[in-house]
Amino acid sequence: MHALSLALLCSFQVRYHAAAAAATQLCGILDQRSALVGDRLYFSSGNYTFNDNLPSHSTSSLYVLPLDKVIDVSGPIPLSELETSPLPSQELAGGMGPISGGAGGTYLFDHTALYAYGGIIGGDANGTENGLWTYNTTNETWGLTIVEGGGLSYGEATEGVWAIDPSQSLSFYTGGWTIAYNNTNNGLVKFDSSDPAKPQWNFVTALSGDMQGPNMLKGSMQFVRKGQAGILVAFGGYNTTQRGTQFGPGWDWDQRPFDEIFVYDIFSNVWYLVEATGDLPPLRTEFCSGVSAAADDSSFQITIHGDQFYTTKLDDTYVLTLPAFEWIKVRVANNPDGGAGRNRHKCSMWQDSQMIVAGGGPEESEYCNMSYPPIKVLDTSNYVWQTHFEPDHEAYSVPGVVRRVIGGSSKGGSTVTSPKRGWKDPALGEIFSHTLARDTYVYPDTPNTSTTGEPASTPTPEPDTQSKTGAIAGGVVGGVVGLALIAAGVWWFLVRPRQRRRSAEGDQDGSSAYRDKPELPSDGATRADELDSRDIVTQLPTKTDTAELEDHRYAAELAAAMQGVQSPVELEAEQNRRVPGRPV
Ligand SMILES: *[C@@H]1O[C@H](CO)[C@@H](O)[C@H](O)[C@H]1NC(C)=O
Ligand SMILES: *[C@@H]1O[C@H](CO)[C@@H](O)[C@H](O)[C@H]1NC(C)=O
Ligand SMILES: *[C@@H]1O[C@H](CO)[C@@H](O)[C@H](O)[C@H]1NC(C)=O
Ligand SMILES: *[C@@H]1O[C@H](CO)[C@@H](O)[C@H](O)[C@H]1NC(C)=O
Ligand SMILES: *[C@@H]1O[C@H](CO)[C@@H](O)[C@H](O)[C@H]1NC(C)=O
Ligand SMILES: *[C@@H]1O[C@H](CO)[C@@H](O)[C@H](O)[C@H]1NC(C)=O
Ligand SMILES: *[C@@H]1O[C@H](CO)[C@@H](O)[C@H](O)[C@H]1NC(C)=O
Ligand SMILES: *[C@@H]1O[C@H](CO)[C@@H](O)[C@H](O)[C@H]1NC(C)=O
């Protein structure tokens, strides 16, 4: 079955390459892995459409969009703007879960390398050996890196939440379908690539507090420079703690209300739950986010965009300002999507001031449509969507709509240092009293290109080394979109039989119907106002329903499970079929 699926993939690739000769533009991206390193946006895996009339399909290419020059993002991206190189393994190509797939996987990364993580089913997703395909961005070479620290390869890990701190060479991943639970404990994959010759990871379980992780599927997580070693801030998506009631039979999980903000202090290894106030975004999944810091670091704005809301993709934008923990609904201008919205996209923040929203979609038929660009750029200082990405864009300034809530000026000076109702746990006050320095790493190949001619075009004389070098990994790639193309609801099992994985590869059923998922009915914006507002929540029961699901599923071959027993994937698809007016 494995051989068969590979053969099918290969023949498809051949067909694609033959036809792609005619393609001159990239029109659509869905479920890609992506990373912003230096002044280059890397992406691969997932599905793509080009102006060659082929349907959306996976490709075996790594794409790089160089961000050292102005890019017209008002329509499809000419392929001449992209650098394209082959992926080292077909299993990274993605787009065809539950066979092999990048859908929902990500790149963990630092200043010099990308590590393809999750979303791989096949020999490369080697839970025992911990091999990660690694792209060295300096010498542009792929290699297979063996990571020390345990069986955390989790090829099937998809649609969790992740956050990257390139300055400490740390990447974090939790939640999703198979991560966060090791049969006894919840936790977080902490990946340390500071020694590229010997990257390490471990499954970190919280040291104190009752909470061990957010159990979050299709939410979003960001690294923020607070605390002594940084914090992770996670929100949205589904709460996979236990089965809920929001969707009725067929879809187990409730969506998380946006007043629940999970904060992980890296230094002390403790999770907190902070209650946010303000214009709480309607419940959503498959959105993405990016962080902008005030010039003086007095506030950090996390901008979120897009979502899936039942069968509707919204194109709204909200901002969570920290440390006020206040949500602000933002009026944007010039959104190119014309109200169509998007989901399963990825956000990358360029030097705090331009949020690059790559991919996502409404319907495939709408790709290659001048009014629905594959990549769009939001100016996070004024919330105007740009027609062009500009590497030397004006430095970030705190938007007026945010200043009305937190005070200060466009350069910072916010006087709000805590949530409206204060810190429920004094430890949080202590954490938020520390701010880490900006990342000042200078990429070896960028200083000369970015210093020449830039001073003249940088209008704001902000003492911001970041915008001067043009070479900072300001982008913490965030956002969680994409689709579990795999055994849904299967919690990680320490030693997964390869045989089982192979049967998953061979299973082509269940994938096509899965592309569209049910979301909240529009009348269902029922935020649980009464939700517990303690800073530290009580931990979920150790034995979750998902664990039970795992037990159940583990007894059967995965392929059989996918076809016979109703997996969440199928149930999700089935629920989708029940949506009135939904074309099936
Ligand atoms: C993604 O591409 C694969 C082929 O490469 C195709 O089977 C699948 O249906 C596509 N999914 C979407 C959502 O376009
Ligand atoms: C997977 O494990 C086998 C040994 O069990 C090893 O030979 C192979 O190289 C590993 N593959 C990867 C991608 O790590
Ligand atoms: C590129 O770097 C990798 C280590 O990441 C190394 O193994 C490889 O030999 C290098 N290739 C070249 C051509 O320098
Ligand atoms: C799960 O994590 C806990 C806490 O770190 C650890 O004690 C336990 O051994 C782990 N279980 C497995 C199966 O790895
Ligand atoms: C990438 O390659 C360069 C040049 O070969 C090497 O100096 C560097 O250590 C490599 N980086 C990683 C992360 O392997
Ligand atoms: C997650 O959902 C469960 C069940 O609905 C609920 O009891 C729990 O409070 C939720 N957890 C959080 C942190 O919201
Ligand atoms: C392009 O896509 C938008 C958003 O879905 C849609 O409103 C518009 O009709 C499409 N235009 C064309 C020419 O297909
Ligand atoms: C930039 O290039 C010039 C020559 O064009 C060279 O003299 C200088 O050392 C370079 N600077 C850096 C930082 O590489």
| Summary mean pLDDT of the chain | 74
* CB of 239 shorter than 6 A to ligand 6: yes
* CB of 366 shorter than 6 A to ligand 7: yes
More confidently predicted of 19 and 384: 384
More confidently predicted of 18 and 177: 177
* CB of 241 shorter than 6 A to ligand 6: yes
Place of tokens 């300002």: 321
> What pLDDT shows up at residue 504?
30
Query: Are the beta carbons of 108 and 491 closer than 8 angstroms?
Result: no
* CB of 136 shorter than 6 A to ligand 3: yes
b/e per residue 145-158 (b: at least 16 CB within 10 A) = bebeeebbbbbbbb
> What pLDDT shows up at residue 95?
64
Q: DSSP 3-state assignment of 468?
A: helix
Ligand 4 atom with least separation from CA of 494: 13
**Residue 193: nearest ligand to its CA?**
5
Query: Are the beta carbons of 244 and 183 closer than 8 angstroms?
Result: no
Q: Of all protein residues, whose CA lies closest to atom 12 belonging to ligand 3?
A: 139
**Residue 242: nearest ligand to its CA?**
6
- 359 alpha carbon – ligand 5 mean position (Å): 30
* CB of 444 shorter than 6 A to ligand 8: no
* CB of 340 shorter than 6 A to ligand 7: yes
* CB of 447 shorter than 6 A to ligand 8: yes
Q: Which residues pair with 385 in a beta bridge?
A: 378
pLDDT at 486 over 90: no
> What pLDDT shows up at residue 53?
84
* CB of 183 shorter than 6 A to ligand 4: yes
258-271 per-position pLDDT tens digit: 999 999 999 999 99
DSSP states of 98-165: TSS--TT-EEEE-SSEEEEES---STTS-TTTTEEEEEETTTTEEEEEEPBSSS---TT--S-EEEEE
Pocket of ligand 5 (CB under 6 A): 112-113, 136, 138-139, 196
Q: Of all protein residues, whose CA lies closest to atom 11 belonging to ligand 7?
A: 369
> What pLDDT shows up at residue 60?
92
With CA atoms as reference, report the closest residue to 100 among 553, 507, 556: 507
Ligand 4 atom with least separation from CA of 203: 5
Domains of the chain: 23-447 (2.120.10.80), 466-578 (no CATH)
217-253 per-position pLDDT tens digit: 999 999 999 999 999 999 999 998 888 898 888 888 8
* Four-CA torsion 224, 40, 371, 57, nearest 10 degrees: -100
* CB of 218 shorter than 6 A to ligand 1: no
pLDDT level of residue 566 (50, 70, 90 thresholds):
very low
Q: Of all protein residues, whose CA lies closest to atom 13 belonging to ligand 7?
A: 369
Task: Record the tokens describing residue 200, joined without a space.
Answer: 């390490």
Pairing of strands 326-330, 277-278: parallel
Q: DSSP 3-state assignment of 366?
A: helix
DSSP states of 250-275: T--PEEPPTTEEEEEETTTTEEEEEE
More confidently predicted of 524 and 188: 188
Instruction: Give the mean pLDDT of 36-47.
Output: 95
pLDDT at 288 over 70: yes
From CA 96, how far away is CA 570, in angstroms rounded? 15
pLDDT level of residue 171 (50, 70, 90 thresholds):
very high
- 179 alpha carbon – ligand 4 mean position (Å): 13
Query: Are the beta carbons of 9 and 17 closer than 8 angstroms?
Result: no
* CB of 260 shorter than 6 A to ligand 6: yes
Instruction: Give the mean pLDDT of 75-101.
Output: 83
- 532 alpha carbon – ligand 7 mean position (Å): 43
Provide, rounded to the nearest whole percent, the portion of the chain with pLDDT above 90: 48
**Residue 127: nearest ligand to its CA?**
2
Instruction: Give the mean pLDDT of 185-214.
Output: 88
- 447 alpha carbon – ligand 8 mean position (Å): 8
- 364 alpha carbon – ligand 7 mean position (Å): 11
Query: Are the beta carbons of 287 and 304 closer than 8 angstroms?
Result: yes
**Residue 531: nearest ligand to its CA?**
6
Place of tokens 């404990």: 185
pLDDT at 56 over 70: yes
- 515 alpha carbon – ligand 1 mean position (Å): 9
Q: What is the pTM of this model?
A: 0.76
pLDDT level of residue 524 (50, 70, 90 thresholds):
very low
Mutate to test the pocket of ligand 3, among 137, 139, 146 (most ligand atoms within 8 A of CB): 139
Q: Which segment, 177-186, 443-452, 545-554, 569-578, is predicted with the most confidence on average?
A: 177-186
- 579 alpha carbon – ligand 7 mean position (Å): 23
* CB of 362 shorter than 6 A to ligand 7: yes
Instruction: Give the mean pLDDT of 363-384.
Output: 84
pLDDT at 457 over 50: no
> What pLDDT shows up at residue 93?
85
**Residue 544: nearest ligand to its CA?**
6
Instruction: Give the mean pLDDT of 155-171.
Output: 89
Q: Is 188 exposed, middle or buried (CB count within 10 Å of its CB: 0-12, 13-18, 19+)? A: buried
Ligand 2 atom with least separation from CA of 131: 14
DSSP states of 13-49: HHHHHHHGGG--EEEEEES-EEEEETTEEEEESSEEE
